Amino acid sequence: MDELRYQIDLLKAMNQKISGREKMFRLACDTSNNAFFYYDFESNELVTFGNWDKFFPFSLNEVKDIPMILDTLDDEYILPVRELLFLEKSGSTQCSQESCLKDGRTWYEFETRVNYGENGRPVDKIICIRNITKFKTQNEELRYMAYYDSLTGLYNRNYFVKLLTDFVRQAEKEKDIVSVLFINLDDFRKINDSMGMVIGDEVVQQYGQFLGSFSGRNVIVCRMNSDVYCMAVYDPRGNRSVEVIYQEIQDRISQGFVLSNGTKVHVTVSVGVAEYPEASASVLELINCAEIVMFKAKAAGKAQLQYFNAPMLQDFLQTVAIENKLKQAVFNKNFILYFQPQYFTDSKKLRGMEALIRWKDENNKMISPTVFIPIAEKNGAIIPIGNWVIEESIRCYLEWKRKYDQDFIISINISSLQCRKDDFVPHILDLIRQYEINASEIEIEITESILIEDFTEVKDKLVTLRENGVRISLDDFGTGFSSVSYLNELPIDTLKIDKSFVDKVLADESTKIITESIVNMVNKLGYESIAEGVETEDQYVYMKNIGCDVVQGYLLGKPIPVEEVDQVFIKML
């Protein structure tokens, strides 16, 4: 009897232990946020537990109910999940499969584990179902961030390069062509500055969405940065030829973009095109070549399409080389000044000297100002260069003034970037005070293009200089944005007639009429007139006869280095 009671107590203890463990396992399953179903092959028992009711609106009571799960899935995932649910048919032990429900938003992961007996037959299996929607969403967001531009929805630069690499590899195999279009909105900064960055972003977004409409199996589009886009076209022909695409772009932008606040914005674009394999076999070089051509299109007047060619690359490489040399030259002040004399036409007496910057590189090769000045203006080097020219010109002027006791004017060319600097006027006035020179013999030469940037600001600065005695000369008149209406508004002392008029004045009747009109107008306004580029005696006589005050050119004096200027003054003594 005692033995029987002991066995009963032992069974009770074991049952309590099993119940406790079952409770523990169920609690773990219920708090795991997963759903489970368990199937025992020998007893044909099927049990669901965990958060089953949160996953499915039905219960599983027997094996024939299992396919009900498949009815909740998107068609694409029915077959792979069916194989997983009945994994024992393949003899596999474990398998997992992601799947999406019919709603297209909810994602489940199914994981099956099957246990087999010694005879190889399945004993039981358990299937765990997890809701991975949040994980999939996060992954999609990370994937979007990795591949797409957040503002326009276009590909980003990195993914575009990857896809373009695939295009080039395919083109290499199939002996085909890939066109890369580098597309830039013209004067976009003006939109940002005048209307604000929010409006600017909306323009970028709308234009990007329009470009995205070209996307397809053979066309990829990305936003490179800010207002720059890139498009690659595989086998560009027919409706996807570069010319057709560019015409569609022109047609669209001609309509303008209507923004959310009702504002209508009109833009133009400059497009550079480079093609594989002509321009380059390297993807990055291909994009770079298209960018180079785009800048050429901008330099040629904007709002146009240009194609890459080898000379363009050579020009670009030369520009880069000069730019690198220029940085070192600025640092070391490796520049020299030449001076070209100006003479009164009636007496041929010296009127003054125009300071002209020159640059010899480390190989003692002279680089033309027409080459390096535009580069210096583009990269900002013109500011330190210009400041050096001003100070060095005044220093030379003072030296000659003391040495020869002659009255003459020193003319100094000023760039638009210099003129826009806040310290431009104070710097010149400080130098005049520092060197104790006569301000009326200092002449600042500006070009008409300076006035286009900000007429009022430039005018105010020139007025301040002139009120302090500095002379103002308007250079290259007639070649830029000439407007007679603003002449009387500016504090001008001298107007220089461009060499292009002097070159043709004896042979072309129209040029002759214009030149005479300019001189007559200048005289009546009370300004001094200077003719540039007078190279022959006939030109000199003509300019003298029509009343031009001063001539400057090779006939009476070429630009000369500092050490030769003494001879000019000696002749005048």
Q: Could you give the CA distance from residue 550 to residue 493 in angstroms, rounded to a whole number?
A: 13
- 301: which residues sit within 8 A by CB, 6+ positions away? none
For range 551-555, the mean pLDDT: 96
- Kindly report which listed range (51-55, 134-138, 425-429) carries the lowest average pLDDT score: 134-138
Exposure on the CB side of residue 520, measured as CA atoms within 13 A: 7
How is the beta sheet containing 178-185 ordered, strand by strand?
219-225, 228-234, 178-185, 269-276, 305-307
Task: Show the CA angle centred on residue 357, arms to residues 351 and 363, nearest 5°.
Answer: 140
| Mean pLDDT to the nearest integer, 431-456 | 87
Residue 1 has pLDDT above 60, yes or no: no
pLDDT at 568 over 80: yes
Question: Is the per-residue pLDDT at 171 higher than 90?
Answer: yes
Quote the radius of gyration of the chain (alpha carbons, Å): 41
CB 199 within 8 A of CB 265: yes
**Eight-class DSSP state of 498:** P
- Looking at the DSSP bridge assignments, the partners of residue 431 are none
Q: Position 158: which residue type?
A: N
- Segment among 8-12, 91-95, 126-130 with least mean pLDDT: 8-12
Side chain identity at residue 33, one-letter code: N
pLDDT at 135: 81
Residue whose tokens read 């977004």: 205
The pair of structure tokens assigned to 363 is 């190989």
pLDDT of residue 485: 64
Whether the CA torsion 450, 455, 461, 465 is positive or negative: it is positive
CA dist 342 and 355 (Å) reads 11
Q: What is the pLDDT of residues 97-114, one digit of tens each?
A: 999 999 888 999 999 999
Let me know if 179 is exposed, middle or buried by CB neighbors in 10 A (0-12, 13-18, 19+). Answer: buried
Per-residue pLDDT, 456? 85
User: Helices (DSSP H) in 36-132: which residue ranges?
Assistant: 52-55, 78-85
Sequence-distant (6+) residues with CB within 8 A of 270 are 183, 184, 186, 294, 297, 298, 302, 303, 304
Say which amino acid occupies 555. Answer: L
Q: How far apart are CA 559 and CA 481, in angstroms?
A: 27
DSSP H helical segments within 86-216, as ranges? 133-147, 157-174, 188-195, 197-212
Mean pLDDT of 180-209: 89
Q: For tokens 């027409």, what's the residue?
A: 370
Which segment of 215-229, 236-250, 322-336, 389-403 scores lowest on mean pLDDT? 322-336
User: Quick one: tokens of 315?
Assistant: 């020009």
- Nearest one of 222, 227, 279, 271 to 249, comparing CA atoms: 271
As a whole number of angstroms, the distance between CA 351 and CA 468 comes to 21
How high is the pLDDT of residue 347? 94
Give the per-residue pLDDT at 506.
94
| pLDDT score of 314 | 73
Task: Name the more confident of 363 and 5.
Answer: 363
pLDDT tens digits for range 444-492: 999 877 776 678 888 899 999 999 999 999 987 766 555 566 777 889 9
Alpha-carbon distance of 134 to 107, in angstroms, equals 8
- What pLDDT shows up at residue 391? 94
Instruction: Provide the percentage of residues in the chain whose pLDDT is more than 90.
Output: 61
What pLDDT score does 364 carry? 80
Q: Residue 18: what pLDDT?
A: 46
Is the pLDDT confidence value at 393 over 80?
Answer: yes
What is the secondary structure of 358-423 as a DSSP string?
A: EEE-TTS-EE-HHHHHHHHHHHTTHHHHHHHHHHHHHHHHHHHHHHH----EEEEE--HHHHHSTT
- The answer to whether 131 touches 104, Cβ cutoff 8 Å, is no
Please name the residues in contact with 329: beta carbons below 8 A apart, sequence gap of 6 or more. 335, 359, 361
Weakest-pLDDT range from 47-61, 160-174, 387-401:
47-61
Question: Does the structure show a pLDDT above 50 at 392?
Answer: yes
Q: What is the pLDDT of residue 484?
A: 66
What letter represents residue 256's amino acid?
G
Q: How many Cα atoms sit within 13 Å of 460 on the Cβ side?
A: 6
pLDDT band at 329 (very low <50, low <70, confident <90, very high): confident
Q: Taking all residues of the chain, what is their mean pLDDT, rounded to a whole number?
A: 88
Instruction: Say which DSSP state 18 is in.
Output: H
Residue with the larger pLDDT of the pair 484 and 524 = 524
Give the pLDDT score at 162. Answer: 92
Which among 359, 292, 346 is positioned nearest to 319, based on CA atoms? Answer: 292
pLDDT at 203: 92
Residue 21 has pLDDT above 70, yes or no: no
H helix intervals, 38-196:
52-55, 78-85, 133-147, 157-174, 188-195
Q: Is 225 helix (H, G, I), strand (E, B) or coil?
A: strand
Distance, CA of 477 to CA of 497 (rounded, Å): 5
What's the pLDDT score for residue 14? 54
CA distance 456 to 461: 9
Q: What's the confidence (pLDDT) of residue 196?
A: 83
